[in-house]
């Protein structure tokens, strides 16, 4: 949605009462109070950047999930569910659960035992300075840009839903995040993310409950969706045998290999925004359990995101359309389905809680971006390339200022996007260029001791450049889609998945070839970094119900059952 379109839309979707405003104001006061309270516990680098590495598995796990559960995520996927049906659930289930379990069971020991403070930090230990620098600069740059884009999008949402001034929304929310992260560091970000996670559920869970009551249960809902849209809208897998049989124009190979393997594993196992939360766990068992707890709750998120979108297809009296059509006809767009459902069921008080959930979602995502940016900038760029000899106190101060600077750059990006809306598409595409190859580099580094430093660097660079090349090729010649995405009918999402898959394969191939052509690191230097030469603490003496593997199997079983239930 761009500014011009937002201006043309109806004045506002919902009107808040005094009690709604009281709930929103109380939320802001509370998050600032938490930041103020924690400022005395962020005096050392370990405290400020790693939250003292003392988080329990529950807190690290909920924070791990909350950093990803932004307001745009909530509204965007509810809109996708209205537009594409239950297929949108793939981004929560196969597009997240296997990767989160893999992170907890297989990758976390290496991140944790190496005592790295960041994912680029792991790359330095494993492959050397050049790989770290490439990953750190691309991550830091993209993180603040993405944060700015999310900030702008959220301000637009607040304008459309509540009629709030865009400048007001941008400055109030961003300054609040800047204050509580600069004061309390990662600990404050994590505390607030857990609070925001609870508020998101408290504010959003009522919509599917009341929606199912109105629709007459799941069976009646499916019948109504079949009448209003298509029976294919309530099937998760059975329509994926062909590009033509489903609303998304995607094939199951794209979902399984592109989304379920490369994109999902790339994001959930190497994006420092989420991994940082787990690195703050108090011990290895908590670090392994945290992503598994996150996975269990991630499986439930479709109930507050996808189900409201599906319910909108059945119970809303109007037909939602794309934004251009909505503006032309004076109707509502797909993106408004969640606020429309909120306004449909929620009276005074509940409406304020629902809006607070959206604001909380935005702020948790932004705090995640800012705290991750601060750590990578301070440790992986500033300390590594600019000032190697600073004191711990100096780096903490740098972190505090960097938090404020990161927020200001994000605000600047938000205003830039306001002027040039097309920047948003380019930056979102840019972000996807780095994720898949980075996963190839990290996973080879952890599981293959023969991978060498030059192999890691050139593989990462080749994967990233090939991803950019494929994107530019399709932009310049749309018919190239039949090569990149295997079908001329593929939509944007399908193209993203196949592009990620190819860039991952190229990264892995280049890493393997260059590694065989160059000298590997001595085995003695790989201890704590690579499978086969790292002593991972055994859990034989721990009761089975305390073991991460046990809970990973339980979560995995539920994942399989849920997929079969809506096959």
Residue ranges in contact with other proteins by CB under 8 A? 17, 19, 22-23, 26-27, 30, 34, 37, 41, 54-56, 59, 191, 194-195, 198-199, 202, 206, 210, 213-214, 315, 343-350, 352-353, 356
| Least distance to other proteins, CB of residue 198, Å | 5
Q: Name the nearest CA neighbour of 237 among 98, 100, 90, 83.
A: 90
Q: How far apart are CA 501 and CA 33, in angstroms?
A: 45
CB of 207 to other proteins, least distance (A): 10
Token couple for 204: 């959003």
**Alpha helices, DSSP H, located in 376-452:** 392-419, 422-447
Taking the least distance from each CB to other proteins, the nearer of 22 and 533 is 22
The nearest distance, CB 356 to other proteins, in angstroms, is 8
The distance of closest approach from Cβ of residue 163 to other proteins in the complex, given in angstroms and rounded to an integer, is 18
3-state DSSP assignment of residue 485: coil
| 8 Å CB contact between 370 and 410 | yes
Extract the tokens encoding 320.
């939602």
520 vs 453: CA distance, rounded Å = 7
Rounded to the nearest whole angstrom, what is the least distance from the CB of residue 371 to other proteins in the complex?
16
Non-local CB neighbours of 439 within 8 Å, separated by 6+ positions: 262, 265, 266, 269, 270, 504
Say what angle helices 350-375 and 71-84 make with each other, to 10 degrees. 110
Among residues 56 and 563, whose Cβ is nearest to other proteins?
Answer: 56
Tokens matching residue 301:
């998120």
The nearer residue to other proteins, 135 or 351, going by C-beta atoms, is: 351
Q: Which is nearer to other proteins, 214 or 527 (CB)?
A: 214
Closer Cβ to other proteins, 17 or 242, answer by number: 17
Q: Are 229 and 317 within 8 A, CB to CB?
A: no
Minimum Å gap between C-beta 320 and other proteins is 17
- Among residues 239 and 371, whose Cβ is nearest to other proteins? 371
Q: Name the minimum Å distance from CB 41 to other proteins.
A: 7
Task: Answer whether 275's CB lies under 8 Å from 304's CB.
Answer: no
CB 442 within 8 Å of CB 111: no
Which is nearer to other proteins, 199 or 236 (by Cβ)? 199
Whichever of 343 and 486 has its CB closer to other proteins, that residue is: 343
**Residue showing tokens 């939320």:** 27
CA distance 102 to 266: 11
Taking the complex as a whole, the smallest distance from the CB of residue 474 to other proteins amounts, in Å, to: 44
């Amino acid at each position: 949605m761009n500014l011009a379109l937002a201006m043309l839309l109806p004045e506002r979707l919902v009107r808040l009462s005094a009690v709604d405003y009281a709930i929103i104001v109380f939320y802001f006061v509370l998050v600032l109070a938490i930041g103020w309270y924690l400022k005395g516990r962020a005096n050392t680098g370990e405290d400020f950047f790693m939250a003292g590495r003392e988080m329990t598995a529950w807190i690290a796990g909920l924070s791990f999930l909350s950093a990803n559960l932004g307001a745009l995520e909530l509204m965007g996927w509810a809109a996708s569910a209205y537009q594409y049906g239950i297929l949108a659930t793939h981004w929560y289930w196969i597009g997240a659960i296997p990767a989160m379990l893999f992170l907890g069971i297989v990758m976390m020991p290496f991140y944790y035992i190496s005592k790295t403070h960041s994912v680029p930090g792991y790359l330095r230990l494993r492959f050397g300075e050049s790989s770290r620098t490439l990953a750190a600069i691309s991550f830091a740059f993209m993180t603040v840009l993405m944060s700015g884009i999310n900030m702008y999008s959220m301000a637009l949402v607040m304008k459309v839903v509540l009629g709030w001034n865009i400048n007001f929304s941008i400055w109030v929310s961003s300054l609040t995040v800047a204050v509580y992260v600069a004061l309390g560091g990662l600990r404050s970000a994590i505390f607030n993310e857990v609070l925001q996670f609870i508020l998101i559920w408290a504010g959003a869970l009522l919509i599917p409950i009341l929606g199912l009551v109105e629709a007459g249960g799941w069976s009646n809902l499916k019948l109504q969706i079949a009448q209003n849209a298509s029976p294919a809208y309530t099937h998760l897998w059975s329509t994926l045998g062909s590009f033509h049989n489903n609303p998304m124009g995607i094939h199951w190979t794209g979902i399984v290999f592109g989304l379920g393997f490369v994109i999902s594993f790339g994001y959930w196992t190497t994006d420092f925004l989420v991994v940082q939360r787990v690195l703050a766990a108090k011990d290895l068992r908590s670090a392994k359990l945290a992503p598994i707890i996150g996975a269990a709750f991630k499986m439930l998120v479709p109930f507050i995101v996808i189900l409201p979108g599906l319910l909108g297809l059945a119970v809303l009296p109007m037909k939602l359309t794309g934004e251009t059509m909505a503006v032309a006809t004076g109707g509502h767009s797909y993106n408004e389905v969640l606020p429309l459902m909120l306004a449909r069921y929620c009276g005074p008080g509940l409406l304020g809680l629902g809006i607070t959930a959206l604001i909380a979602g935005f702020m948790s995502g932004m705090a995640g971006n800012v705290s991750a940016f601060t750590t990578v900038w301070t440790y992986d760029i500033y300390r590594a390339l600019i000032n190697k000899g600073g004191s711990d106190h100096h780096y903490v101060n740098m972190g505090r200022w960097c938090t404020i600077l990161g927020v200001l750059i994000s605000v600047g990006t938000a205003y830039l996007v306001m002027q040039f809306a097309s920047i948003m598409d380019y930056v979102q595409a840019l972000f996807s260029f780095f994720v898949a190859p980075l996963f190839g580099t990290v996973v080879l580094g952890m599981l293959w001791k023969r991978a060498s430093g030059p192999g890691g660097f050139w593989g990462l660079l080749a994967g990233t450049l090939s991803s950019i090349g494929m994107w530019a090729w399709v932009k310049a010649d749309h018919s190239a889609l039949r090569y990149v995405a295997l079908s001329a009918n593929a939509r944007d999402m399908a193209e993203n998945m196949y592009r990620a898959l190819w860039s991952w394969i190229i990264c892995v191939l280049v890493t393997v070839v260059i590694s065989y052509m160059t000298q590997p690191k001595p085995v003695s230097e790989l201890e704590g970094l690579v499978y086969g030469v790292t002593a991972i603490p055994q859990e034989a003496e721990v009761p089975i119900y305390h073991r991460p593997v046990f809970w990973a199997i339980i979560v995995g079983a539920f994942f399989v059952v849920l997929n079969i239930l809506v096959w």
